[in-house]
């Protein structure tokens, strides 16, 4: 079996996939600046980090799914202490929240956990 070689200007499928994958990785690593969307704060507002529990990609009970969808925590330790039940193995993930939203949710001094169902 003889295969035709491509001319010098054509890419093979493998070369195209390698170049596309490289471009995707480089674009994902590049910082995005000046897009003006997302946090809802002022133009210079970088926001604050809060934590939530996530069972994405894992088997989880209905109780932990409901709990994870509606709770925000001020610290990693608070998120770890407020799991849905003793067997809950959800991951703790960091979320960027605008300063205005953070102040609205955690305005009571010492509040570590917020249930979004009870706002």
pLDDT at 8: 58
Q: Using alpha carbons, select from 65, 115, 69, 70 the residue that is nearest to residue 85.
A: 65
The three-class DSSP label of residue 64 is helix
Tens of pLDDT, residue by residue, the chain (119 residues): 555 554 556 778 887 777 777 766 666 665 544 344 443 434 445 778 999 999 988 899 999 999 999 999 999 999 999 999 999 999 999 999 999 999 999 988 889 999 998 87
**What is the domain extent for residue 69?**
48-118
pLDDT at 25: 63
Instruction: Examine residue 40 and state whether it is found in any structural domain, yes or no.
Output: no
Instruction: Examine residue 41 and state whether it is found in any structural domain, yes or no.
Output: no
Instruction: Examine residue 25 and state whether it is found in any structural domain, yes or no.
Output: no
Q: Using alpha carbons, select from 63, 37, 55 the residue that is nearest to residue 92.
A: 55
Instruction: Examine residue 10 and state whether it is found in any structural domain, yes or no.
Output: no
Instruction: Examine residue 76 and state whether it is found in any structural domain, yes or no.
Output: yes
């Amino acid at each position: 079996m003889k295969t035709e070689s491509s001319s010098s200007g054509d890419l093979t499928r493998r070369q195209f996939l390698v170049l596309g994958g490289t471009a995707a990785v480089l674009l994902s690593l590049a910082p995005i600046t000046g897009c003006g969307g997302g946090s809802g704060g002022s133009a210079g507002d970088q926001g604050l980090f809060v934590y939530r529990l996530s069972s994405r990609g894992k088997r989880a009970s209905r109780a932990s799914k409901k709990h994870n969808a509606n709770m925000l925590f001020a610290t990693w330790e608070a998120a770890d202490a407020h799991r849905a039940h003793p067997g809950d193995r959800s991951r703790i993930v960091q979320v960027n929240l605008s300063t205005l939203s953070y102040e609205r949710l955690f305005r009571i001094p010492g509040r570590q956990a917020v249930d979004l169902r009870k706002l």
